[in-house]
Amino acid sequence: MKIGVLALQGAVREHLKHIELSGHEGIAVKHVEQLKDIDGLILPGGESTTLRRLMNLYGFKEALQQSDLPMFGTCAGLIVMAKDIVGEEGYLNKLDISVQRNSFGRQVDSFESELDVKDVAADIEGVFIRAPHIAEVHGNVSILSKIGEKIVAVQEGRYLGVSFHPELTDDYRITRYFINHIVKTTLSEKV
Ligand code: GLN
């Protein structure tokens, strides 16, 4: 399958590598016209205010709001997929969740934690960098992982979102899950 990585900002190369390790073709997506050539899209981490500004500039906000492509957001990518961002307006409105940005406190800006991610694996290494957490889930959103009381991974149908950066480790199992389960199921439903 062909999986795009939104290539406006953030850890694009690392995501492309995980797509290839999963046995699929990764495409750096810089223009909305490329969306028609892919089967799924990864929205990388970075800084979500900058990411939103760039997405507005290049027409991705409308294109993705109208798109039914499966999407996987990591960190800032999760923030832009949320219906609600605490204290700000929601953006793409793909996941029926409320996210709280920078929610792990200043002293612990960045940390790693082993996570049990439902349907994927019980020993996923999560790298958190000024990470958001998911403060509320609604409707058909399922919770895939938590750190204590904080939700850090969710799925709602064809949309997957995590607070951390799987692409910064060698462990590509979440990306493989996104492609081999979520994207594949979406494609088979289309036929
Ligand atoms: N703190 C960033 C934000 O709120 C996200 C950080 C990240 O993607 N690593 O946009």
Tell me whether residue 75 is one of the annotated catalytic residues.
Answer: yes
Atom of ligand 1 nearest to the CA of 129: 9
Query: 104 falls in which pLDDT band (50, 70, 90)?
Result: confident
Task: Identify the residues whose C-beta falls under 6 Å from ligand 1.
Answer: 45-48, 75-76, 79, 101-102, 129-130, 132
CA of 127 to the centre of ligand 1 (A): 12
134 annotated as ligand-binding: no
**pLDDT tens digits, 11-67:** 999 999 999 999 999 999 999 999 999 999 999 999 999 999 999 999 999 999 999
CA of 190 to the centre of ligand 1 (A): 33
Q: What are 130-160's pLDDT values in tens digits?
A: 999 999 999 999 999 999 999 999 999 999 9
Contact (Cβ atoms closer than 8 angstroms) between residue 70 and residue 183: yes
Which DSSP string corresponds to the chain?
-EEEEE-SSSSHHHHHHHHHHTTSEEEEE-SGGGGGG-SEEEE--S-HHHHHHHHHHTTHHHHHHH----EEEETHHHHHHEEEETTB---S--EEEEEESSTT-STTSEEEEEEEETTTEEEEEEEEES--EEEEE-TT-EEEEEETTEEEEEEETTEEEESS-GGGSS--HHHHHIIIIIIHHHHHHH-
- Residues 121-134 have pLDDT tens digits of 999 999 999 999 99
Ligand 1, atom 4: nearest CA belongs to which residue? 101
pLDDT in the model for residue 150: 96
Q: Does residue 1 register a pLDDT over 80? A: yes
Is 156 part of any known ligand binding site? no
Nearest C-alpha to atom 2 of ligand 1 is from which residue?
47
Pocket test for ligand 1, best of 15, 79, 91, 100 (most atoms within 8 A of CB): 79
Q: Fold for domain 2-190?
A: Rossmann fold (3.40.50)
* C-alpha to C-alpha distance for 157 and 113, rounded to whole angstroms: 26
Best of 98, 130, 134, 164 for a ligand 1 pocket test (most atoms within 8 Å of beta carbon) = 130
Percent of the chain with pLDDT over 90: 93
42 is in an annotated binding site: no
- State yes or no: pLDDT of 108 exceeds 80: no
Q: Is the pTM of this model over 0.75?
A: yes
